[in-house]
Amino acid sequence: MALADLAAIRSKARKLSQTPSDDMLTDQQLDNYINTFLLYNFPSELRLFSTRRLLNFYTQPGQDVYKTLTDPALVNDPLFNFQNIYITTHPQVYMAGVAAYFTQYRDIFYGLWPQTNAIVNTGQQGNGTTGPFTGVIPAFTPAPAFPIANNPNITKKSVNFNCLDANGTAMILVDYPVDNVLGALGELGVPQTIPSPFGQINYQSGAYSVTFPFATATAVSGSPNPLWVEYLPFIAGKPTTMLFYNNEFTLRPVPNQVYQIQLEVDVRPTALLNPADVPQLEQWWQYIAYGAAMLIVEDRVDDVTQAKLAVGMRKEFNNVNRTSLIQTANMSTKTVFNTPMRNGNWNGYNWPM
């Protein structure tokens, strides 16, 4: 059986690029070319049926946005390094096994789920100090208007407290989520964690503690200086709609408990690090060798060799893509002419007889 491992790819790439000697190009340098093509050029040029996978992740109560994770301790999480591992996402999306609406357009998503912020006067006034000002957002006193036990009612990253300083300039503190319960308050663009010198907000109870960076203007008769809070309230529930934008998944309604989310993604190929490593499909090996050789001669500005390689690379491109083309052809659009009748209809499509 013909070898299709990294060693074979190296050998063919050297022949194609006319670089037979390790003195001209070390194996380490050659592997960089091979993996650059495999990880970046290959998936940009080809979307193969064999690289389609199911992505499963799970919601957390009160968390509406799910994005790529970078903490090395979370390397086994499905969303770890998501934006680099998964190239594209596809519907259909399933939430707890039920088909959900999927969109990549913010106007459609927020047209269905408007971001109508609550703007509330806390009842507190500037007093010539920085604070702290403590209390509970009035809408949460004595209890949430929508009693969903043990679930947050304030959307993360939607909170801001503001009050005027002695110069009449509004001081603004926003929330930086720490977990599903607490958010640290801080100035715009300066993330904080708990304990924060500017205070915190409890997303579940609405309890807050706010300390401004400068002294607040003292409220006097005729010149009030209220402490305002703006936030996006929500009623938690089972998600039915997903927005994919800026490499983030946003769910509505905001989950009230753990739900499984499942969707299809295109996965970036795996790097080849050891001589015995083989591509995901052994059929790819010659195409990868051609791609690496093209990158090598491109760096040498060798247009003649590059033009010669282009012919063979196109042939290998077609060979690699053929399986996916045939697989896609088998998934033709369903009509009354190519779908068998079952129980009086065609696979659940109630076309008239």
pLDDT averaged over the chain? 86
Q: Quote the percentage of the chain above a pLDDT of 90.
A: 52
Extents of the domains making up the chain: 6-104+244-329, 118-231
Alpha-carbon distance 155 to 232, whole Å? 5
* Banded pLDDT at 81 (limits 50, 70, 90): confident
pLDDT of residue 93 exceeding 90? yes
Distance, first Cα to last Cα, the chain: 54
Percent of the chain residues past pLDDT 70, beyond the cut: 87
Task: Give the span between the Cα atoms of 35 and 28, in whole angstroms.
Answer: 11
Query: Do 168 and 159 touch, CB atoms closer than 8 A?
Result: no
The CA distance from 313 to 13, in Å, is: 12
pLDDT 10s digits, 152-199: 589 999 999 999 999 999 999 999 999 888 999 999 999 999 999 999
* pLDDT reading at 333 higher than 80: no
Distance (Å, whole) CA 22 – CA 30: 9
Asked if the peptide bond before residue 29 counts as cis, ω within 30 degrees of 0, the response is no
Phi-psi sector, 206: left (phi>0), alpha (psi -120 to 50), beta: left
- Asked if residue 181 lies in contact with residue 194, where contact means CB atoms within 8 angstroms, the answer is no
Lowest-confidence pick of 37-41, 233-237, 349-353:
349-353
pTM: 0.76
- Per residue in 37-63, pLDDT (tens digit) is 999 988 888 777 777 888 999 999 888
Residue 291 has pLDDT above 90, yes or no: yes
